[in-house]
Chains A and B, each alone.
Chain A
């Protein structure tokens, strides 16, 4: 019976593979497919999740809403108890997506560019968030913020967000540090900020931006997107490297540079890890060949952890 059911449904799981996704041109469809694929292997659907669940009882205190008194318990114990629910309050999520020129790189003509990978992940997260009644906003930037959508859980928010992401053509340099500082000024109350970028910017500026966000008590998730070639440097022979953000050109014997280059990349990632650890930001590395469920599960685990943290605060506060 179960097998028959699975045979009757399309295999959405394959859409987690970036190579398959790259053949889907519509970002909306791509994001939906990712989410479908992500949940196709799970036991419960996000569409049936309750937003209000019973958690515990506590004694009635003055000022409590009488509607919350459990009269059945009063009948049995002759004491007023108030039902306490674990209610999922609206999560405010800000997706900060790097739309600079360096994100347009892809080494595999059949694969996704770093930008496409980033926006697919962002749209999928946004779709998921909207489905869970979370508010989701968007900050699209290159050297400055080019698009800013305040978080909202309106039904059309996701479509607007997806359209903005799909319509952007990155042709400018990156200036993440400055953008994060500006973003800090724009968003007042705390929220979960997911920064999706290759982070090809000055490390000190980056950390300065992270610190600003954390200072305003925002949750910060950093998804560092790489192309596979940027991590392996698979070139050989004389190669003319032409920098994407007007970073110049370099003619070199690739094999001679490989070891040093990989050393530099490794050093940068180590520094990122240390820096993010210092500001308590979650750092995750992706390459454009990594299936997107990793990103989604990372987000969901972070979300649930955050909600648990909040509920414990609610309970603790009671």
Chain B
């Protein structure tokens, strides 16, 4: 805290103080204006007047000056009183200190549940508690040490941050009760929200500016303050860049909140205490992810999950501590019955996990029936018997148990339904525009394909199952087809779509569906651009241009890729972007793969690409071949060539199957994604019209219900409008676990998990804490066994407010002004009357 100069006076409302000083000019102005508003009188007896003026000038001037000064002082002091002046503690000269407003921000997020380990043997078990226990202990000790006149506000940091006591409370017993009622949650930390709340309380605080103290009681985990590399850079940029620098303007929300907090603290001369609790508790092994992956490496969480189709379930285990963890085991089980422990489908020892490293455990599961299924993974804590010592004083064991379990709700479909719209149907399937695509999506056999191609590998995995069920329709049939029955739609060489069809497709994609568009000779660019592109606001990610024929002699020839057919046509080929898009990443380096051997002799050029779209694949002449974009919750892919052999011979290559499956994987959303929620979220289940009237019941699917309700009353699901329909809302979720929602006779399973960011217990060091906010702060560290806060007396400024003094002065000056005005007036009247009387006599 910077030392205030002696006799320095601050103001709660500096702007009003400035206005008050300015109002002091008013009496002077009135005086001057009155002098300008005089009456002109011709006068003969001037010599007597001048003589009288000579005799009385000095006395009258003195009287007027005195009155003017008093009136100026009245106005200035009145404004000053409203501006709430105060004398900071360092400048106080024997005046009585006034009350202090203490704003306590208490972190009750998941990371605060980390359990402290005794640093040495012989420490009483009662002193071993969670970070939150120590934080509450600190707050209770702080409250006990406060003078009874001090007021307290309380904010909790668990997301979303909320003010438990927003009005400053002087009843410390009430404050202690509220503190005792706060429990550690499994929610994440809302640092930004808490800072915003604190700024609001500071702004509305009725206490003198220097008489405010903010206590930030938290474990200050790095992820809370620098949860992304960008935010760290944002802070660094803010420090080094001038205020108007672009980097400063682009700082993320937390950095902006910190800036505002620093500004609010500086403006109000408020002290900030950063109270970090239990720096020793940091060893933690957590399950950072449990999800579905259709591929071993990509892990994109595809929605291609269907009955009797193998699905890979992956679980990531991360060691956040400083010590190598050995012999831990991850157990993945499939729960079908809430009462039983479930069927263990994988139990895998993790081996040695180095500090900061992660291990992925995968298991293939085949679901035999459709509907929602629950997968549970947990780290077998009994296996955490041996943790190597990183040095003296490092605690043993896993300090946070909540993140050792994760749940996954998987929706298994009977099949993935894809609708193919053929703009120029052929006599056989393969002569139509969508025939090759339908065959690729539902390959009955991989025979004839090169054994080395990626398509062959992928096709073999799908050989015996009909995962995708394509349905080919014609353009007129699309008008009446119910799009809700499909997960993706492909439009192949369709001349034009009506405006209403585009609108239906927009609604379909916005709701999560996938759309793939192929060009061709039949495509008329104008209606596509008008209703599809809509100047960048529509579904199409690019504006279609004229058809480009690569056999045109005027067209530039490219020597990269492509082929020359028997008719002497020079084709161009495909090439990957740099870096490759994830959708085509599997082809990187496979220069002999069919994708790169295929030729293209026509494509539809693009007049403009939406800024949000990205090129997935391009031709060897540099023009885009495949563009991806998102629209609402869904995705869109635009091919500038055909889906059949009209413009390219890619469909004849084995990689075509692989490309189309990858595209389907990209487009088809993971079903039931909304049934996997994070703690603090509210479960939302869209309902069909029939389901709205059916009986609904929510029960815990094993263990304790994640939605505890309030007090003794269990939480009840409620119907809320979502879009055009209704959804069932239930929550918010307070604990990780599983839930079963039964609507009629059909049950759906929900999984609730903690925010994996909370598992990283690494704490900011002292210097980083001090550097967090661009102003001087008090950094305090509360050790596990510390019993007092700041020693005997909490450090706090104690300033004295002077508003009442100013008010008394104003009253005194008002009386003085009245007396002076009356006295001077009476004196003049006496003199006049005396003269008149003598004259008359």
Contacts and interface: CB of A to CB of B under 8 A. Distances in A.
B44 A227 contact: yes
B466 to A, nearest CB: 105
Interface in B5-63: 34-35, 37-53, 55-56, 60, 63
Contact of B45 (A200, A248, A255, A258): A200
B56 A257 contact: yes
Count chain A CB atoms within 10 A of each CB in B35, B45, B55 and give the residue with the most: B45
Contacts of A28: none
B39 A252 contact: no
A263 B825 CA distance: 17
Interface size class of B (residues with CB under 8 A): 20 to 34
Given A239-B39, A253-B60, A260-B55, A200 B828 contact: no
Given A259-B832, A259-B835, A235 B41 contact: yes
A104 B44 CA distance: 8
A244 B834 contact: no
B44 A198 contact: yes
Contacts of A227: 44
A291 B56 CA distance: 35
Count chain B CB atoms within 10 A of each CB in A252, A253, A260, A265 and give the residue with the most: A260
B689 interface: no
A231 interface: yes
B96 interface: no
B835 A250 contact: no
A247 B46 contact: yes
Interface string A101-121: 111110000000010000000
A263 B42 CA distance: 21
A241 B49 contact: yes
Contacts of A262: 832, 835-836, 839
B831 interface: yes
A259 to B, nearest CB: 3
Given A232-B836, A264-B52, A237 B45 contact: no
Contact of B53 (A105, A252, A265, A266): A252
Nearest to A255: B828
Contacts, number: 122
A245 B838 CA distance: 29
A238 B38 contact: yes
B511 to A, nearest CB: 81
Contact of B49 (A238, A245, A257, A266): A257
A268 B45 CA distance: 11
Nearest to A235: B41
Contacts of B48: 261, 264-265, 268
B60 A256 contact: yes
B701 to A, nearest CB: 92
A242 interface: yes
A230 interface: yes
B836 A241 contact: no
A205 to B, nearest CB: 13
A315 B39 CA distance: 63
A243 interface: yes
Nearest to A244: B44
Contacts of A265: 45, 48, 839
A251 interface: yes
A241 B52 contact: no
Count chain A CB atoms within 10 A of each CB in B48, B825, B838 and give the residue with the most: B48
Contacts of A73: none
B839 A230 contact: no
Interface in A177-231: 198, 200, 227, 230-231
Contacts of A258: 828, 831-832
B60 to A, nearest CB: 4
A239 B825 CA distance: 17
B44 A114 contact: yes
A24 interface: no
Nearest to A247: B46
A239 B53 contact: no
A261 B35 contact: no
Count chain A CB atoms within 10 A of each CB in B34, B40, B44, B48 and give the residue with the most: B44
Contact of B43 (A105, A198, A237, A253): A105
25 contacts: A102-B44, A102-B45, A105-B42, A200-B45, A232-B836, A238-B34, A241-B49, A242-B40, A242-B43, A244-B43, A245-B44, A247-B47, A250-B49, A251-B35, A252-B49, A253-B64, A257-B60, A259-B831, A259-B832, A260-B55, A261-B49, A261-B52, A263-B831, A264-B55, A269-B839
Interface of B: 34-35, 37-53, 55-56, 60, 63-64, 825, 828, 831-832, 834-836, 838-839
Given A243-B46, A259-B835, A260-B53, 19 more contacts: A240-B41, A241-B41, A241-B42, A244-B43, A247-B46, A247-B50, A250-B53, A251-B38, A255-B828, A257-B52, A258-B828, A258-B831, A259-B832, A260-B52, A260-B831, A261-B45, A264-B52, A264-B55, A266-B835
- Enumerate the 6 nearest inter-chain pairs by beta-carbon distance, A residue then B residue, closest first: A259-B831, A260-B52, A262-B835, A243-B46, A247-B46, A238-B38
